Amino acid sequence: MELRKGLEQNLKIASELYPVVKKKILDFTDFWDNNPDDAISRHKEVEDELKKLTGKEMSEFDLWEYWEADGVENIAFRISLPNPAKILDFKKSELKEILTRIKTFEDPTEYENDEFLMLVWANKSDYYRELLKVNFDKYDFKFFIRNKDKDGNYFEYSVDEIVENLWEK
């Protein structure tokens, strides 16, 4: 099922911003390596530049030690990708499609020679979960992980169970 424009990642903007954001982060890393005493003030400047460029709050991104998490490519992609929007007329069928996309593994082999498409693939589920968090008050991360019932048995919520949990008013 094709999702309408407001539900999909805005890859046009992300692809335009990604090389600029990545370069700013790498330039900051080089600056820090060569000028550790001035790194704090330069860090603030880079955060301000990125916030102005993307409109995103930079406090959620670790420009100091990104390499300990996912590397420069992932942080640059996440900064470049516009945040999901609040959708006033979310349809149940759209919710089900998004959950199916989150819960279904897609083989990334076809993307392995394209850095940007690999980043799209690697970050798709995070984007969709954030979209759901913005649009559904009953969103809970537990819907996307393995859980334990009262008898100690492990289970995962199905797509239909998550739909019903999120959709109920």
pLDDT tens digits along 106-157: 898 999 899 999 999 999 999 999 999 999 999 999 999 999 999 999 999 9
> If we measure between CA atoms, which residue out of 103, 168, 105, 97 comes closest to residue 139?
168
On average, the pLDDT of the chain sits at 94
Locate the DSSP E strands across 35-119.
Answer: none
Q: Whole-prediction pTM value?
A: 0.89
Distance CA 141, CA 164 (A): 15
Locate the DSSP E strands across the chain.
Answer: 147-148, 154-155
What is the per-residue pLDDT for 169?
Answer: 60
What is the per-residue pLDDT for 2?
Answer: 86
Q: Which of 43-47, 100-104, 110-114 has the lowest mean pLDDT?
A: 110-114
Q: In a 3-state reduction of DSSP, which class is residue 106?
A: coil
**pLDDT over 90 for what percent of the chain?**
86
What is the per-residue pLDDT for 80?
Answer: 98
Token readout for 4 is 């309408």
Indicate the pLDDT class of residue 67, thresholds 50, 70 and 90: confident
Distances (CA, A) of 16 to 11, 20, 81, 87, 95: 8, 8, 10, 24, 28
Alpha helices by DSSP H, listed for 35-70, are 39-54
> If we measure between CA atoms, which residue out of 60, 83, 80 comes closest to residue 18?
80
